[in-house]
A and B are shown apart, each in its own frame.
Chain A
Amino acid sequence: MSQAKRSIETRDVTLVEAVNMALHRAMADDANVVVLGEDIATNGGVFRATVGLKEAFGFKRVMDTPLAENLIAGTAIGMATQGLRPVAEFQFMGFIYAGMEQIVSHAARMRNRTRGRLHCPLVFRAPFGGGIHAPEHHSESTEALFAHIPGLRVVIPSSPQRAYGLLLAAIRNPDPVVFLEPKRIYRAVTQSVEDNGEALPLDTCFTLREGDDVTLITWGACVQETLQAADKLAEQGVSCEVIDVATVSPLDRETLLCSVAKTGRAVIVHEACRNGGVGAEVAASIAEGAFLDLQAPVVRVTGYDTIMPYYRNEQYYLPQVEDIVKAVEQVIAL
């Protein structure tokens, strides 16, 4: 199998370029890593996340599949049971549901039901979330569906550096990972990323900013608005701790509880609708583990419990900086 030596370079890259960089690195490091999906080889993916992989590693390891998401998921599972490390791309999260049975009934269960005889070291990648004026079915955030499934990890990067390190970690992880890429910030920010092959830890939150008055808990694209809100609140003299959850399942409750024990207040921000969202699990965990530390009820700033509107109205659905500022003012007042 083809393998290319890869030098360590540092480049200013966008989030989607960081995904591409991590895929190149993972494939160069391990001949078992293969990539499959719709339009990913010759076209380099509709968002160009897989661009250049076919040229570097060949058709055998970079495979355009027929247009069948259920098949993509199941084929990746079969490959993984043979010790390959497939990274399967779903073109948009809105199309991952056809693969749901494979992900839930097989990928998540294979190790457990064979008592470790077979396992699924694979990654299901999908761009998710709104904010890019995309057509219907292209803008949802349904990470909670996967977070509810035992046996799956659900990982969401929030920056180019995080995308590089977390995707490498996901690919090297011996168990299935659903890796959801916030496409609203695919090209919104540029960061310097060193292509050094170093993974970031999974199952752990990242504290992006330390503060004393309130803990802002978020992930994915909403990290941007949350940090902006924290800046504004700092001008008002409110000190916000900002936590990027990153692995939304299994949840790093310890970091969250330690922070809330310090600040006594928590505001959860996510783009997905509220009912049964990951924010509900975070809020319940805080209620169970830090109730006596709380000086105010936990508040959620989320999408609404309705169908994601088409793009003319999507800004009214997505949490805005002002919504987060208002929620913090509300809990600080208590």
Chain B
Amino acid sequence: MRQIHEFHVDSTRYLDDHGKPLGALPPQAGNTDRVLAAYRNMVLARTFDSKAIALQRTGKCGTYPSVLGHEVVGTAIGQGMAKSDVFVPYYRDQAAHLLRGVSLTELLLYWGGDERGSAWRKCPEDLPISVPIATQCCHAVGVAAAMKIRDENRAVVCCIGDGGTSKGDFLESINLAGAWHLPVVFVVINNQWAISTPRSLQSGAETIAQKAISAGLPGHIVDGNDYFATVEALDAALGRAHGGKGATVIEAVTYRLGDHTTADDATRYRTAEDLKRAWEKDGIKRLQNWLHDNGHWSPDKEKSLQAECKQTVERAVEEYLAMEAEPPTAMLDYLFETLPAALHPQREQIASKYRGGDV
């Protein structure tokens, strides 16, 4: 018997659970400004998250998916991408959105039931949040194909959860990325849970990263709570994409520290001990420890960062709450570039029903 192909999957981790280096760190650790900016973004994302949940609990925001446990990987994505690259998110990528230029107010509008929350002004080419699982993967390869057709030196980063990798959209898209040699990075954020379904029930494959092999792509695992491992992998994969070397799949292993959304109660399907163990691996605390150990951080700095983030979030909340809803006729005004004549009577009906507003 002749062996045609064998594969291995690498897994990278640089810091232990307490932020102590396990060995030599990658060059990214030497860029203190970038590391500090990463830490600030993670703290801002987490501060925003607890406020959004509080708003939902008090009836001021709709159902909202917590970012807890995803801050590190989102930040690495945001930092790795060039402004001219295109981000194709799923729905738990708040930390990446902030670095792409989505405002906190826009995020609140989206989850607060207002379509203007996806009219992102500062990253106009990024695709909107994708709720139908894994469907965004196909868009990501389409965007990457457009870049390749036009000979542009740009790349796409596409996020997906572990549950999403069970869907054809993911498999079809990595397959096309391999066949067409596309400049795209798939980041699978394996947070162990698809609502209540554990990772073990999604696939018999030992790793998700190895699914990349079937598409002719490299697949790597990183500790998704290890900023250095994650940002190094993103930098390398984006370097490959920009260099015309094709696509990569990164499996960032983390843990969903919150409920699936505010409508979920995770105590129904996972134990307090599991959650406690996951918190011990928290990536934000880990990076804070490392910064502290290396003389870049102090309790005073932490205190003022927390206060600053709180203030930033409060300002966004004020702006969000002060925004009037769009006139109800807006439900037709963006359906087509020009409203077809057939729909004019319905628009008039909406306008007359809600007369009084500027419709």
Chain A residues near B138: list those with CB within 8 A: 70-71, 73-75, 77-78, 102
In the assembled complex, A275 has its CB within 8 A of some CB on chain B: no
Nearest 5 pairs between A and B by C-beta? A78-B142, A74-B138, A82-B146, A250-B342, A78-B139
In the assembled complex, B280 has its CB within 8 A of some CB on chain A: no
Interface residues of B in 169-213 (CB under 8 A from A): 169, 172-173, 175-176, 179-180
Given A66-B179, A71-B173, A253-B342, the answer on whether A81 and B142 have CB atoms closer than 8 Å is: yes
Query: Complex formed: what's the CA distance from A84 to B169 in Å?
Result: 21
Query: Complex formed: what's the CA distance from A70 to B116 in Å?
Result: 28
In the assembled complex, A238 has its CB within 8 A of some CB on chain B: no
Verify B140–A66 contact, CB threshold 8 A.
no
Verify A111–B337 contact, CB threshold 8 A.
yes
Chain A nearest CB from B306 CB (Å) reads 33
Q: Supply 14 further A-B pairs (C-beta < 8 A) apart from A71-B173, A81-B125, A111-B336.
A: A74-B141, A74-B142, A75-B145, A78-B142, A79-B145, A79-B146, A80-B142, A81-B127, A101-B132, A102-B135, A115-B334, A203-B340, A252-B341, A254-B341
Chain A residues near B290: list those with CB within 8 A: none
In the assembled complex, B149 has its CB within 8 A of some CB on chain A: yes
Chain B residues near A111: list those with CB within 8 A: 334-337
Residue in B closest to A202 when the chains form the complex, CB atoms: B340
In the assembled complex, A118 has its CB within 8 A of some CB on chain B: yes
Contact string against B for A residues 111-122, beta-carbon threshold 8 Å, 1 for contact and 0 otherwise:
111111111000
Query: Complex formed: what's the CA distance from A2 to B146 in Å?
Result: 15
Chain B residues near A203: list those with CB within 8 A: 340-342
Chain A residues near B127: list those with CB within 8 A: 78, 81, 118
Chain A nearest CB from B349 CB (Å) reads 13
Given A68-B172, A75-B142, the answer on whether A1 and B118 have CB atoms closer than 8 Å is: no
In the assembled complex, B150 has its CB within 8 A of some CB on chain A: yes
Interface residues of A in 98-113 (CB under 8 A from B): 101-102, 105-106, 110-113
- 25 inter-chain pairs at a CB distance below 8 angstroms, sorted by A residue, are A1-B149, A60-B149, A63-B145, A65-B176, A66-B179, A68-B168, A68-B175, A71-B141, A74-B138, A74-B169, A75-B138, A78-B127, A78-B144, A78-B146, A81-B143, A102-B135, A114-B119, A118-B128, A151-B335, A151-B336, A174-B336, A203-B340, A203-B341, A252-B342, A254-B341
Chain B nearest CB from A67 CB (Å) reads 10
Query: Complex formed: what's the CA distance from A117 to B123 in Å?
Result: 10
Given A114-B118, A151-B335, the answer on whether A1 and B139 have CB atoms closer than 8 Å is: no
Chain B residues near A106: list those with CB within 8 A: 132, 135, 139
In the assembled complex, A251 has its CB within 8 A of some CB on chain B: yes
Contact string against A for B residues 217-254, beta-carbon threshold 8 Å, 1 for contact and 0 otherwise:
00000000000000000000000000000000000000
Chain B residues near A75: list those with CB within 8 A: 138-139, 141-142, 145, 176
Residue in A closest to B146 when the chains form the complex, CB atoms: A82
Verify A70–B172 contact, CB threshold 8 A.
yes
Contact string against B for A residues 73-95, beta-carbon threshold 8 Å, 1 for contact and 0 otherwise:
11111111111101000000000
Interface residues of B in 144-174 (CB under 8 A from A): 144-147, 149-150, 168-169, 172-173
Verify A115–B175 contact, CB threshold 8 A.
no
Q: A63, A73, A79, A115: which has the most chain B beta carbons within 10 Å?
A: A115
Verify A66–B175 contact, CB threshold 8 A.
yes
Query: Complex formed: what's the CA distance from A276 to B138 in Å?
Result: 31
Verify A150–B172 contact, CB threshold 8 A.
no
In the assembled complex, B91 has its CB within 8 A of some CB on chain A: no
Chain A residues near B340: list those with CB within 8 A: 203, 250
Given A66-B176, A112-B334, the answer on whether A78 and B141 have CB atoms closer than 8 Å is: yes
In the assembled complex, B124 has its CB within 8 A of some CB on chain A: yes
In the assembled complex, A175 has its CB within 8 A of some CB on chain B: yes
Query: Complex formed: what's the CA distance from A76 to B86 in Å?
Result: 16
Chain A residues near B137: list those with CB within 8 A: 74
Question: Which residues of chain B have a CB within 8 Å of any CB of chain A?
Answer: 86, 88, 115-116, 118-120, 124-125, 127-128, 132, 135, 137-147, 149-150, 168-169, 172-173, 175-176, 179-180, 334-337, 340-343
Given A115-B334, A151-B335, the answer on whether A77 and B150 have CB atoms closer than 8 Å is: no
Task: Give the secondary structure class of B's interface.
Answer: helix
Question: Pick the contact of A78 from B143, B179, B180, B337 — CB < 8 Å?
Answer: B143
Verify A116–B119 contact, CB threshold 8 A.
yes
Chain B residues near A61: list those with CB within 8 A: 149
In the assembled complex, A301 has its CB within 8 A of some CB on chain B: no
Verify B342–A70 contact, CB threshold 8 A.
no
Chain B nearest CB from A75 CB (Å) reads 4
Chain A nearest CB from B227 CB (Å) reads 29
In the assembled complex, A34 has its CB within 8 A of some CB on chain B: yes
Residue in A closest to B139 when the chains form the complex, CB atoms: A78
Chain A residues near B343: list those with CB within 8 A: 250
Query: Complex formed: what's the CA distance from A307 to B144 in Å?
Result: 40
Verify A82–B179 contact, CB threshold 8 A.
no
Chain A residues near B172: list those with CB within 8 A: 66, 68, 70-71
Verify B334–A74 contact, CB threshold 8 A.
no
Chain A residues near B145: list those with CB within 8 A: 63, 75, 78-79
Residue in B closest to A98 when the chains form the complex, CB atoms: B168
Chain A residues near B140: list those with CB within 8 A: 78
Q: A1, A74, A111, A250: which has the most chain B beta carbons within 10 Å?
A: A74
Given A1-B150, A75-B138, A111-B337, the answer on whether A82 and B176 have CB atoms closer than 8 Å is: no
Query: Complex formed: what's the CA distance from A82 to B118 in Å?
Result: 17
Residue in B closest to A73 when the chains form the complex, CB atoms: B138
Query: Complex formed: what's the CA distance from A86 to B187 in Å?
Result: 26
Chain A nearest CB from B114 CB (Å) reads 9
Chain B residues near A71: list those with CB within 8 A: 138, 141, 169, 172-173, 175-176
Query: Complex formed: what's the CA distance from A79 to B180 in Å?
Result: 14
